[in-house]
A and B are shown apart, each in its own frame.
Chain A
């Protein structure tokens, strides 16, 4: 499965499928899972590391969608954006709840363990900083000063709060907040510029 495309038709189709959920159409859930299950699972796995917990997060995300599809408001933007935001929140909540995971994550980051009782290939924070895999976002990310990129990726992929990011990086909390704000502004600008270049709709 490739990344879901972002054409007008596909976005409209996502909305139609979400509406079909409200009518109880199970096949619509299967279709949405076929479109987004892989990226939801992959994002969850990147954040929580543990494969089993990633399955739980993915299950919770699609179950939440099934139980109350009206939580997604098409007026607020693309379905994929909303679903991945929900996934991120659930995954971060899981990381913060599961002390065992957090201990493994911390140890993995501190000692560079590649197989810290899980089958995650790399420590998540390290990989978040250095492992840029997607051309578009990589290009945008690489325009950011390293401290801004580090602050954003530690928070997003590592599930760390701003205060925790400050402790990890050794920077004052205010500096971390400033970096995140500046980094986000620049990231948005770069992505918008890239879309303007490629003509892709956001």
Chain B
């Protein structure tokens, strides 16, 4: 590699660190980067400088419920070792039956104490209730006899806590089963999914549609992804006061943008009168 070659690669390294290359350049540079120590170092140095640039933003506290959302998401993610015991029958092997708190329980209590101490993230009552529900969810699984029934009950409790303070629209699939909710959130909306199939985030998307009145074509509110089949909360970018519409629908689409019309509707729900 000559010096002049690397003048160009140095520029690509900066573009790579900025995530500002066009796809063809990015693809080509990825091949080079995998074998070039100099460019790896150049990318790393740029990333370090950009890490400093990141602090040139007005700091904004994340909403208190965001940690709950993350916990909810991590709680049902397949993990290589001891994680939340929501989906792991091995939970019964924890030493709680000997009178000693389980490792996961200790972690949860530690977390709860931290959250209580954490002055920048005061839990709202609703968020605290969701957290407590999740903790209970974890603990009850130590009793495998009522495992499935209790998980179902706790799931409903979590859904209730997520939805009780919001204007909401229940989404039903073709068989009438509720597989999610549309929640009012300021002037935007959240979609709580509970049973929608995860989509390929590279090639497909879900689209939330709003219907103003019967007979009129639906309008796309925005796109969202479903990353797991279990309970999840996703924000849809669009502006959609629920009271302005009579119904909502969810479609699954090829591609990553909203088409003019929904092609494969997977759920619908009427706005309560």
What secondary structure prevails in chain A residues at the interface with B? helix
Q: CB-CB < 8 A to B82: which residues of A?
A: 23-24
* Cβ A42 vs Cβ B115 within 8 A: no
Q: A133-B57, A141-B56 are in contact. Are A156 and B18 (CB under 8 A)?
A: yes
CB distance from A58 to the nearest CB of B (A): 6
* Cβ A137 vs Cβ B47 within 8 A: no
State in angstroms the CA–CA spacing of A180 and B110 once bound together: 45
> Is A125 an interface residue when CB atoms closer than 8 A count as contact?
no
CB distance from B228 to the nearest CB of A (A): 10
- Bits for B108-124, please: 1 = Cβ < 8 Å to A, else 0: 10110011001011000
> Is A168 an interface residue when CB atoms closer than 8 A count as contact?
no
**Which A residue sits closest to B74, measured CB to CB?**
A66
> Is A71 an interface residue when CB atoms closer than 8 A count as contact?
no
> Is A147 an interface residue when CB atoms closer than 8 A count as contact?
no
**Which A residue sits closest to B48, measured CB to CB?**
A81
* Cβ B15 vs Cβ A42 within 8 A: no
Q: CB-CB < 8 A to B73: which residues of A?
A: 59, 63
CB interface residues, B 1-55, toward A, < 8 Å: 10-11, 14-15, 17-22, 44-55
* Cβ B235 vs Cβ A52 within 8 A: yes
* A-B contact sample (10 more), CB < 8 A, given A133-B58, A160-B20, A187-B53: A26-B108, A38-B60, A46-B58, A52-B236, A85-B51, A92-B19, A100-B222, A134-B55, A136-B55, A153-B53
Give the A interface residue count (CB, 8 A).
84
Give the B interface residue count (CB, 8 A).
71
* Cβ B55 vs Cβ A24 within 8 A: no
> Is B59 an interface residue when CB atoms closer than 8 A count as contact?
yes
Enumerate chain A interface residues (CB-CB to B < 8 A): 1, 3, 22-27, 29-31, 33-34, 37-39, 41-43, 45-46, 50-56, 58-59, 62-63, 66-67, 76-78, 80-82, 84-85, 87-89, 92-93, 97-101, 117, 119, 121, 131-134, 136-138, 140-141, 152-153, 155-157, 159-163, 165, 177-178, 180-181, 184, 187-188, 191, 202
CB distance from A152 to the nearest CB of B (A): 7
For B59, B108, B121, B234, the residue with the greatest tally of chain A CB atoms inside 10 Å of its CB is B59
* Cβ A43 vs Cβ B57 within 8 A: yes
* Cβ B10 vs Cβ A180 within 8 A: no
24 example contacts (A-B, Cβ-Cβ < 8 A) are as follows: A24-B82, A27-B107, A30-B67, A30-B115, A37-B66, A41-B61, A51-B63, A55-B235, A56-B234, A59-B73, A63-B73, A78-B51, A80-B51, A92-B19, A119-B186, A133-B56, A138-B56, A141-B56, A152-B53, A155-B15, A162-B15, A162-B21, A162-B22, A202-B48
* Cβ B56 vs Cβ A134 within 8 A: yes
Q: CB-CB < 8 A to A177: which residues of B?
A: 11, 15
* Cβ A26 vs Cβ B111 within 8 A: yes
Q: CB-CB < 8 A to A165: which residues of B?
A: 20
